[in-house]
Amino acid sequence: MEHTVIFQPSGRRGKFPAGATVLDAARKLGVGIEAICGDNLVCGKCKIKIMDGNFPKEGITSSINHVAQVADKDTKILKDLTARFEAAQEGEERRKIQRKMDKLRAKHENLSDKEREENIRLACGVKVSGDLIVFVPEASRTSEGIVSKKAGKINVKIKPAVSKVYVELPPPSLEDPTGDYERLVAGLERDHKVKGHPAIDYRALQQLPDALRAADWKVTVTLWQREQIIRVEPGKVERNIGLAVDIGTTTVAGYLTDLATGEVLATESMMNPQVRFGEDVMSRITYCMLNGRKGLEELQRTIIDGLNTIAERAAEKVGLAPADISEAVLVGNTAMHHILLGINPEYVGAAPFAPGMHHSFDINAERLGLKILPAGNVHVLPIEAGFVGADNVGCLLADEPHRRDEITLLIDIGTNGELVLGNKEKLISCSTATGPALEGGEIQYGIRATAGAIENVKVEPETLDVLFKVIGDEEWSNGQRNMGAKGICGSAIIDAIAEMFKARVIKKNGQFNKELSHPRVRKNAKGMDEFVVAWKHETALEEDITITIKDVRAIQLAKGALYSGCQIMLRKLGVEKFDRLAIAGAFGSHINKYQAMVIGMYPDCDPETIEFIGNAAGDGARIALVNVDKRREADEIARRVEYVELALEEDFNDRFGEAMQLPHMFDRFPHIESILPVEEAAQEIEV
Amino acid sequence: MEHTVIFQPSGRRGKFPAGATVLDAARKLGVGIEAICGDNLVCGKCKIKIMDGNFPKEGITSSINHVAQVADKDTKILKDLTARFEAAQEGEERRKIQRKMDKLRAKHENLSDKEREENIRLACGVKVSGDLIVFVPEASRTSEGIVSKKAGKINVKIKPAVSKVYVELPPPSLEDPTGDYERLVAGLERDHKVKGHPAIDYRALQQLPDALRAADWKVTVTLWQREQIIRVEPGKVERNIGLAVDIGTTTVAGYLTDLATGEVLATESMMNPQVRFGEDVMSRITYCMLNGRKGLEELQRTIIDGLNTIAERAAEKVGLAPADISEAVLVGNTAMHHILLGINPEYVGAAPFAPGMHHSFDINAERLGLKILPAGNVHVLPIEAGFVGADNVGCLLADEPHRRDEITLLIDIGTNGELVLGNKEKLISCSTATGPALEGGEIQYGIRATAGAIENVKVEPETLDVLFKVIGDEEWSNGQRNMGAKGICGSAIIDAIAEMFKARVIKKNGQFNKELSHPRVRKNAKGMDEFVVAWKHETALEEDITITIKDVRAIQLAKGALYSGCQIMLRKLGVEKFDRLAIAGAFGSHINKYQAMVIGMYPDCDPETIEFIGNAAGDGARIALVNVDKRREADEIARRVEYVELALEEDFNDRFGEAMQLPHMFDRFPHIESILPVEEAAQEIEV
């Protein structure tokens, strides 16, 4: 039995079997609905509204009634479960009932009575049992992020794996009927000193006879590592291009690169299309766990489709076909790496977090499904550990801490904070569970860095007036103008909390200052302390945008994890401090390094030594693309970096707890004092 | 516009666009219709009958009228062409018209007036322009041949490319979270001395994490060449199997082999499914030429589907899945080799006959589309020259002339005769265009060695009584019994001509003996001399089965090509004679070596030194499958064997002309005298 599901406002529609969830249907149709928890009914992000009305088909079933029935059914089930729970004895059976009840409650906890009245439901909880019209509210829609993954400058010797050579061959005759491949190999040895009988790829072999005869036995041969023939083109062909791609959990950025010069010919980026399976790594891993190999294959196909779109668009920009791309180098965190290669990521998501493979991996493009040159190679950079992936190796290739005398602390801030500390003598790494808060996740009004997001916040300490800036608008707010603000992104959350702290709205321990009386400082409907950043009339929402005590806690947890990770790393390496701080990641580039220091995101250091290295992961991919020796170097670094498992450190919890203070160990931040007015700083210490 | 075409007696039906030929339709539906000329309207093999009658659909167009219209149209066109031809001046234009006329005439030449009246047409000439019911007469149906490609005994050291090793690993922990692949590699080095970090195939990598955890970190690893991990199975697995396949133009034979013992576990063969695109190599090459890469891909897919069927059936016989086959080794002639790998075979079909590649080729099974172990390797043996293919290399591996002191003449008789002459000092090879006559092709009543084919013939010299045997029947004919004979296969044609010669029905030059008066010796409707082998009442046809002077000529051409090839080879090698004669091929096994000597198929030799080595090509494939060193040996032989292009020998035509004599140089055949009564032999010399 199939039913039609229509999504509004996109208008996409399709038929789905009874029992599929609305979220399933949305995924199949490419309708972007936010979903973080892996269809577990808990995150509450995937709210949709079941519409009725001018449905164009006959035989429409009452969707609303159906949903109401589901809710009623759940209520009944919950009642039954409660009875069974009370009757059950302590033990496995009782725990099982408990889990069922929790799940069911969670499902409804995310919906207020008002929402339920308005037929708002969770897309992962509504099963299709009749024709449906579904409205996806703006808040639930995934939207294209502002991609700031510009290519950085790389300084590397050009020595690509792929080279092109031109050769002219004598045609065969009855006296010399030697085969095409052997004839070509003889020419390559004679004219280009290519030794040892280079192998020929299946697809290149298929091109060979016609290519040789198309231009009178004059051809250009594409060689991989000078040991494999991957393409034969009639006549003389000079252009030799490759593609480096950074597969971020949120954004995928591709750099079409001239392999002869290293120049970036085109940059092409997109939201990671896997986002529709869940925004963060864990929800995608969960999706694989729940759906088995089929789910993994679905996620894999999704990212490969995305890569193909990037290859196609980038090649088109320079007037070429994707099949003209001779090689690709890919980086991504360990989960993205595993999913890309179709390796079950489940074990990366749970202790002891052992990955399927650390080593770099070379795979034929055609076999992977990547529509570059079919005989082309896809090189995937190695990973360091379960939570320190190929993207981090890319950062190391770009920043080269392993070649420096100074001690570098490299922080790549994303959902996880990846830290590398050391110099040419030794490098150690760790991963800290910063959570999504620093990127706006799990923050009440947190959104991604998209148009309409608040990106900077200033709080006037005396008046508590707030000025803010919104992405896509040059001007600061003035308290009157409707800024169309939709929410608050990571950099502005750090701003806001630092400013709130400096204005004494919150105290060192993150608590709200109870002595303050101001309309912006108030309690929300749930009785939670909150601070109004933007008034309703300044927003695109029909409500104020606030920072709650819960949001402050989330940031405290994130920065505490980062800070205590740094501390343990310093101790592990046996040093007091680092000489330079390199902050990688698109998010990193947007934060204000002084504000970050105010909230104590990282240990005290001279702000002058802080360097934002941008999308270093992507830069590293480009380095490995244009210089094949760097791939060996990457494998060596990946092997050399010692992974520190923070959870094994006895004092980790204590350190973490301390580091949650805001700012942590104020007196140890001499550089902060130059930022905060001294008297205020002194005051704060006493709070 | 699509029309329904129904084939009888199979009942297969399908819809086809207007303009498709009936032969196209047959191919799409898998209806086997003989076709040799590559849809050129010349071979006349694909005769079908357009039926009318109880066609179940309304709106039937008058198919018969349509066909008649086509014939009428052709007549008109021919008239026009004739007029234009006569008006045209000598030159390119005139030659173009001539070619068109020839083609048109050829189309109808193959149909008698009676046939045309009966609505019999060539399937390649009838275009679908309305719904059709088509009857395929028995004579036009391709039928499964009697496959006699039994595995021979091979004597080779067992040293397969694929090995299985069992390893137990320590599970990961937070203290040692090393990745699965690195953990496995360490175990392989520790327990099995596998050095140098074996690579892991994409599909094996995907299995790895789950396989390791499925049986408590105890796994069996399948290694290819001890340098690549191609499979990881939970627990201890012993069986290790491979598949050797001989891809003949007519028959494909697969040998499922235990890689630990070399034992053949199952043999599975089938008619080469490409037969429906044309019976011989040239017609398949022509098909590729006419249909471009799409045609080639169609032929390639067809053979790979066939190989998959063989793999599946063979594996099923021993209770396994095709994915349990760890490796495959394939042999075939150069055209089969090229089509299998998707290499354009066009250039192999025309001077200077340069192949796409001589070398052996290794290709990932999944990429080729072969459904054995996805990470498994497919090894294709090397080829010697355009007309001496990987099947011949297989023969050499099996017969090992390159390891012998005696000089071997190895003949592999098929559509082409492939000859190798020499010993461990030197080997030379050539290919002679024997044509299909020796296998029953181009012989009026010639058919493949299938049930109902006459396989042996005796002619009583005094009475000219003929006795014959039919495949599938133990008893000889007695002149009375209906033997159900459908035609005459290769071995019986040789028999018949030798017997006709010994009975003085034909003379040394192949001409019929005009002095003989006997009902069996007569002229056919076209005025051609012929000899009745089976009377109408002994056959399944409604006519006598005869050998015509044209058939005798075809055999003379074939054996002349073979014989003169041998002669030139002997001269090229600088020897008078060979020490042993090895005859390979399924066909070879069926011929009577004395009768073959009587007609002068090969130079005189002691019959005791003649050895039928059976399907040596398949045996060679098995050898290369179970011993990896033999693959290197094969590449070395293929490179070492010097190819002799007979067409370049000045005296080739003269030798060929002489060798057509029957038997050639009678006095140089001392061994014949022991076969023929001396007085007869003496007489014959004088004829």
The mean pLDDT of B586-600, rounded to a whole number, is 82
Q: Look at B358 and A178 and tell me if their CB atoms are within 8 Å.
A: yes
Q: Look at B177 and A361 and tell me if their CB atoms are within 8 Å.
A: no
CA–CA separation, B133 vs B130, rounded Å?
Answer: 10
CB A172 within 8 A of CB A641: no
Q: How far is CA B120 from CA A79, B78, B102, B581, in A?
A: 80, 20, 21, 47
Per-residue pLDDT at B676: 52
Q: Look at A174 and B645 and tell me if their CB atoms are within 8 Å.
A: yes
What's chain B's Rg over C-alpha atoms? 28
Q: How confident is the model at residue B146 (pLDDT cuts 50, 70, 90)?
A: very low
- Contact list, A363 vs chain B (CB under 8 Å): 202
Structure tokens at A460: 């006037």
Q: A420 vs B585, which has greater pLDDT?
A: A420
Sheet of A162-168: strand order equals A162-168, A218-224, A228-234, A199-200
CA–CA separation, B679 vs A164, rounded Å?
Answer: 74
Query: Of the candidates B210, B351, B364, which has its C-beta nearest A174's C-beta?
Result: B351
Taking CA–CA distances from B647, the nearest residue in chain A reads A174
Structure tokens at A236: 């003389």
Q: Please provide the DSSP assignment of A428-489 as one string.
A: EEEEE---SGGGTTTSTTB--S-TTEEEEEEE-TTT--EEEEETT--SBP-SSS---B-EE-
Structure tokens at B384: 């010697």
CA–CA separation, B412 vs B415, rounded Å?
Answer: 10
Look at residues A611, A552, A272, A592 and name the one whose alpha carbon lies nearest to residue A455: A592
Query: Of the candidates A183, A200, A343, which has its C-beta nearest B205's C-beta?
Result: A343
Per-residue pLDDT at B681: 42
Percent of chain A with pLDDT over 70: 88
Tell me, what DSSP letter sits at residue A424?
A: S
Q: Compute the mean pLDDT over every residue in chain B, rounded to the nearest whole number.
A: 86
Per-residue pLDDT at A358: 96
Per-residue pLDDT at A249: 86
Q: At B229, phi and psi to the nearest 5? A: -85, 120
Query: Of the candidates B177, B209, B344, which has its C-beta nearest A210's C-beta?
Result: B344
CA–CA separation, B83 vs A372, rounded Å?
Answer: 56
Per-residue pLDDT at B59: 29
Residue B81: enclosing H or E segment and its boundaries?
helix B63-87
Q: Look at B209 and A344 and tell me if their CB atoms are within 8 Å.
A: yes
Per-residue pLDDT at A404: 97
Q: How confident is the model at residue B668 (pLDDT cuts 50, 70, 90)?
A: very low
Per-residue pLDDT at A61: 33
Q: How confident is the model at residue B42 (pLDDT cuts 50, 70, 90)?
A: low
CB A375 within 8 A of CB A203: yes
Q: Look at A202 and B351 and tell me if their CB atoms are within 8 Å.
A: no
- Contact list, B201 vs chain A (CB under 8 Å): none
Query: Of the candidates B177, B356, B645, which has its C-beta nearest A645's C-beta?
Result: B177
Interface test with B, best of A200, A205, A361, A636 (most B CBs within 10 A): A205
Q: Look at B208 and A343 and tell me if their CB atoms are within 8 Å.
A: yes
Q: How far is CA B384 from CA A178, B418, B643, B648, in A?
A: 9, 11, 7, 18
Per-residue pLDDT at B153: 83
In the numeric block, the tokens 């039995």 are attached to A1
Taking CA–CA distances from A342, the nearest residue in chain B reads B206
Å between B510 CA and nearest CA of chain A: 33
Burial B153-179 (b: 16+ CB within 10 A, else e): ebebeeebbbbbeebebeebeeeebbb
Tell me, what DSSP letter sits at residue A684?
A: H
Structure tokens at B184: 């496995």
Look at residues B207, B205, B169 and name the one whose alpha carbon lies nearest to residue B190: B169
CA–CA separation, A560 vs A556, rounded Å?
Answer: 6
Residue B87's CB is within 10 A of a number of other CB atoms, namely: 9
CB B449 within 8 A of CB B489: yes
- Contact list, A292 vs chain B (CB under 8 Å): none
The predicted-structure confidence for B17-32, as pLDDT tens digits, reads as follows 887 888 888 877 767 7
Q: B127 vs A596, which has greater pLDDT?
A: A596
Domains annotated on chain B, with CATH: 2-140 (3.10.20.30), 162-234 (3.10.20.880), 279-391 (3.30.420.480), 400-435+556-686 (no CATH), 437-549 (no CATH)
Look at residues A572, A570, A571 and name the one whose alpha carbon lies nearest to residue A581: A570
Structure tokens at B354: 């340069």
Per-residue pLDDT at A58: 32
Q: How many CA atoms lie within 13 A of A332 on its CB side?
A: 26
CB A475 within 8 A of CB A485: no
Q: How far is CA A174 from CA A157, B350, B352, in A?
A: 47, 11, 5
CA–CA separation, B206 vs A340, rounded Å?
Answer: 11
Taking CA–CA distances from B296, the nearest residue in chain A reads A206
Q: Look at B213 and A359 and tell me if their CB atoms are within 8 Å.
A: no
The predicted-structure confidence for B528-563, as pLDDT tens digits, reads as follows 999 999 999 999 887 899 999 999 999 999 999 999
Taking CA–CA distances from B292, the nearest residue in chain A reads A210
Å between B185 CA and nearest CA of chain A: 11
Residue A261's CB is within 10 A of a number of other CB atoms, namely: 11
Structure tokens at B603: 């130079």
Query: Of the candidates A202, A356, A645, which has its C-beta nearest B179's C-beta?
Result: A356
Percent of chain B with pLDDT over 90: 54
Residue B552: enclosing H or E segment and its boundaries?
helix B549-573
Q: Is the pLDDT of residue B684 over 80?
A: no
Q: Is the pLDDT of residue B626 over 80?
A: yes
Look at residues A552, A554, A535, A531 and name the one whose alpha carbon lies nearest to residue A543: A535
One-letter amino acid for residue B111 of the chain? L
- Contact list, A358 vs chain B (CB under 8 Å): 178-179, 181-182
Spatial neighbors of B138 by CB under 8 A, at least 6 apart, are: B486
Q: Is the pLDDT of residue B271 over 60?
A: yes
> What string of H, E and C letters represents the secondary structure of B273-327?
HHHHHCCCHHHHHHHHHHHHHHHHHHHHHHHHHHHHHHHHHHHHHCCCCHHHEEE
Q: Look at B174 and A346 and tell me if their CB atoms are within 8 Å.
A: no
Taking CA–CA distances from A199, the nearest residue in chain B reads B361
Q: What is the pTM of this model?
A: 0.78
Q: Look at B353 and A177 and tell me if their CB atoms are within 8 Å.
A: yes
Q: Look at B354 and A179 and tell me if their CB atoms are within 8 Å.
A: yes
CB A269 within 8 A of CB A280: no
Strand, helix or coil for residue B15: strand
CA–CA separation, B155 vs B583, rounded Å?
Answer: 19
Q: Please provide the DSSP assignment of A595-607 as one string.
A: HHHHTTSS----G
In the numeric block, the tokens 């299938």 are attached to B450
Q: Look at A351 and B385 and tell me if their CB atoms are within 8 Å.
A: no
CB B102 within 8 A of CB B42: no
Tell me, what DSSP letter sits at residue B128?
A: P
Q: Look at A341 and B206 and tell me if their CB atoms are within 8 Å.
A: yes
Strands A408-413 and A417-422 turn out to be antiparallel
Å between B199 CA and nearest CA of chain A: 9
ipTM of the complex: 0.77
CA–CA separation, B576 vs B603, rounded Å?
Answer: 11
Q: How far is CA B529 from CA B496, B523, B550, B558, in A?
A: 15, 4, 8, 20
Look at residues B331, B332, B143 and name the one whose alpha carbon lies nearest to residue B249: B332
Q: Is the dihedral of CA B276, B279, B285, B290 positive or negative?
A: negative
Of the given ranges (A273-287, B229-243, B336-350), which has the lowest mean pLDDT? A273-287
The mean pLDDT of B364-382, rounded to a whole number, is 98
Q: Is the pLDDT of residue B298 over 90?
A: yes
Å between B231 CA and nearest CA of chain A: 14
Q: B60 vs B19, which has greater pLDDT?
A: B19
Strand, helix or coil for residue A244: strand
Look at residues B585, B581, B621, B613 and name the one whose alpha carbon lies nearest to residue B597: B581
Q: Look at B367 and A368 and tell me if their CB atoms are within 8 Å.
A: no
Q: Look at B364 and A367 and tell me if their CB atoms are within 8 Å.
A: yes
The list of chain A residues with pLDDT below 70 reads 10-11, 30, 35-44, 52-75, 105-110, 112-113, 142-149, 415, 586, 663-687
- Contact list, A377 vs chain B (CB under 8 Å): none
Interface test with B, best of A200, A212, A344 (most B CBs within 10 A): A344
Q: Give the residues across from A453 on adjacent strands.
A: A487
Spatial neighbors of B586 by CB under 8 A, at least 6 apart, are: B147, B148, B149, B248, B251, B449, B614, B615
- Contact list, A230 vs chain B (CB under 8 Å): none
